[in-house]
Amino acid sequence: MRKIVKICVLMVTIVTFITINGCKPLYISTLQPKMKNDKLLPVLIPAIDANSFASIFGSTRTTGSGQTNYYGGQTTYQNWSSTTYTNPRINEINTIFERDVLGNISASYGTTKGRIVCKAVIGYNSENLGWLVPNILLACVPAIFGAPMSSWKTQLQIEVMIYDVNNNVVGRYTSGLYQQKTYVAAYWGYHRGNSEPRSVRLVFTKCMEDIKRQIQRDYNRLNTALQ
């Protein structure tokens, strides 16, 4: 009995070490989209279809909104509401989308020429705990040497629609189905609490890069339609 207790204590200590001290942090840069289109469309007001993302990442509700007057250090002369959601994954997706639209897809200030809406088409978000079995059976020895404790996998496909000021659809773009997997592991992996948000942020960024390339190819037609 004492031997079992000692083994359990050792396992808890190792898991605690791995999940708290032995993993990489979740960098704020994952909320900052980097790919910028060469030609920017006129100002578009960004919004996400929260219900479509809730079907993948869990229920959500709006907790408030406020007027956003600044973006990227530049004054924007548009008064638009930046919505906050209770589900942190949906809130992060909303943040990335807003930052991507205002500066990477459309101009961040000027006269509003329409709106751009993002919704989830299909997706999957789940943690794989299969790595725990061999770690438990081997008293977490594999984890000590860097084997994963678990992993998080996110798949996502999105659709983006662009509307003019008269609410006519002038562009509809669908990304490919992308996936991102992150691991909880000592030395090279992530903290268990950081694994899911990193996976979601990166896969949404991949989808948006696909969308931005499509919008850039369609720039001339879109720009004319939005004038």
What pLDDT score was predicted for residue 107?
A: 94
Q: What span, in angstroms and rounded, lies between the C-alpha atoms of 49 and 52?
A: 6
What pLDDT score was predicted for residue 27?
A: 64
What pLDDT score was predicted for residue 11?
A: 55
24: left (phi over 0), alpha (psi -120 to 50) or beta: beta
pTM of the model: 0.75
All residue ranges of the chain with pLDDT < 70 are 1-27, 61-82, 126-151, 183-194
Q: What span, in angstroms and rounded, lies between the C-alpha atoms of 203 and 59?
A: 20
Give how far the C-alpha of residue 102 lies from the chain's centroid of Cα atoms, to the nearest Å.
Answer: 17
| Rounded alpha-carbon distances, angstroms, from residue 25 to 7, 22, 80, 145 | 29, 10, 32, 19
Q: State which residues form the domain around 165.
A: 2-225
What total number of domains does the chain contain?
1
What pLDDT score was predicted for residue 195?
A: 72
| Rounded alpha-carbon distances, angstroms, from residue 82 to 100, 141, 143 | 14, 47, 42
What pLDDT score was predicted for residue 121?
A: 97
What pLDDT score was predicted for residue 148?
A: 57
Tokens of 64: 């408030």
Q: What span, in angstroms and rounded, lies between the C-alpha atoms of 164 and 44?
A: 9
What pLDDT score was predicted for residue 84?
A: 79
SS3 content of the chain, % helix, strand, coil (to 5): 40, 35, 25
| Rounded alpha-carbon distances, angstroms, from residue 30 to 15, 20, 53 | 26, 20, 19
